[in-house]
Amino acid sequence: MTHQELMPFGGIVEQLRHFRDQGRTGTAFIVSDDNRMAQVHMNSGNIVMLLCRGHRGEAAVAAMRTMLRASVRFDDSYVAKQTGTGAAGINLMDLLNDPAPLRAPARVGPHPTRQRPAPAEFAREDLHKLERMLAGHIGPMATIVCAEHASEASDLRTLVMALAADIPDKKQAADFRLDAGRAVGLGAV
């Protein structure tokens, strides 16, 4: 594992380029100073998937590039399953490094004319169950991801759906929704 303290976003891109040049396989977990998270899945130095705040690919790059300072931890023991929905011909490394603005990802914040529902209070045991279940799919970032979504979700069903959206593999996400929904008493979600 490689871990670094907070650095400017350009430093994160440099670190990813270093992982690429080393031909690393695993996942770079990135956390910004305002607690936004991203995952960069690499196979032999190539970015095969990029996730940030529920977005993938180019939209995830746009969300990542709004980070001012972040830390990165590379975990070569966490290798995402190939789903065939990786970069789809887009060179994500070039997009990360490009100073030109990208179009903003859809739904980064609430609609300006709609009131956002207040976040719900969740039972601690429900959150712990969801964290443990999510960790089986996304690794050690599950604690941070679960806390972030819990601070924004209006109910348990919304929380389970948001957590499932951060699981790269669609089948695993569907399995998580089903198992997590049952674990917290919602039934199939």
Q: How far is 31 from 29, CA to CA, in rounded Å?
A: 7
Q: Radius of gyration over alpha carbons of the chain, in Å?
A: 16
Closest CA to 126 of 168, 183, 64: 183
- Extents of the domains making up the chain: 2-97, 124-183
The more confidently predicted of residues 89 and 188 is 188
> Within 13 Å, how many C-alpha atoms sit on residue 130's CB side?
31
What is the model's pLDDT at position 110?
45
Query: Can you say whether the dihedral through the CA atoms of 153, 156, 158, 162 is positive or negative?
Result: positive
What is the model's pLDDT at position 127?
85
Q: How far is 138 from 105, CA to CA, in rounded Å?
A: 22
Given a cut of 80, whether residue 116 has pLDDT beyond it is no
Please say whether the beta carbons of 37 and 148 come within 8 A.
Answer: yes
Task: Work out the pLDDT band at 22, boundaries 50, 70, 90.
Answer: very high
Given a cut of 80, whether residue 126 has pLDDT beyond it is yes
Given a cut of 50, whether residue 135 has pLDDT beyond it is yes
Rounded to the nearest integer, the mean pLDDT of the chain is 75
Q: 141-169 pLDDT, tens per residue?
A: 888 888 888 877 778 888 888 888 888 88
Q: 72-97 pLDDT, tens per residue?
A: 889 888 776 654 444 443 466 666 65
Task: Name beta bridge partners: 69.
Answer: 8
In sequence order, the 6+-apart residues with CB closer than 8 A to the CB of 108 are 53, 63
Closest CA to 179 of 140, 129, 141: 129
Q: How far is 128 from 130, CA to CA, in rounded Å?
A: 5
* pTM assigned to the model: 0.51
Given a cut of 80, whether residue 54 has pLDDT beyond it is no
Angle at 179 between CA 132 and CA 80, to 5 degrees: 60
Q: What does the block give as tokens for 180?
A: 């997590």
